[in-house]
Amino acid sequence: MKVKKGDNILIISGKDKGRTGKIIKAMPKELKILVEGINLKKKHVRPKRDGEKGQIVEIPAALDISNVKIICPKCGKATRVGYLIENKEKYRICKKCKQKI
């Protein structure tokens, strides 16, 4: 998977198109991510103890990674990720500025 937890991304489709956020969870098997503050869904939370009230919280729902572009921390542009093999290590690089990210 080309993105990982902690990456800043730009949403390129859907209702949150144009917004940016930070990945709080990556799910490589499903090719999905959770992004802080993006694609929020309301969820009812049941009271855990007697006397507590249930409440409605907004939590991020998973986004498909094809709906996002990574924002390069080096040049600040939304970009695609490339790979570079150097000394048998694999690095991600920004396709715009060619820096390791």
Residues at the site binding Zn ion, with contacts judged by CB under 5 A: 72, 74-75, 94, 96-97
Smallest gap from residue 41 Cβ to Zn ion (A): 32
Smallest gap from residue 93 Cβ to Zn ion (A): 8
- Tell me the two tokens of residue 10: 């730009």
Question: Considering beta carbons, is residue 23 or 94 the nearer one to Zn ion?
Answer: 94
CA 17, 10, 96, 5 torsion: positive or negative? negative
Question: Considering beta carbons, is residue 47 or 73 the nearer one to Zn ion?
Answer: 73
65 to 2, 11, 29, 57, 74: CA distances (angstroms): 9, 9, 11, 24, 21
Smallest gap from residue 14 Cβ to Zn ion (A): 24
- Tell me the two tokens of residue 40: 């929020």
Question: Considering beta carbons, is residue 8 or 39 the nearer one to Zn ion?
Answer: 8
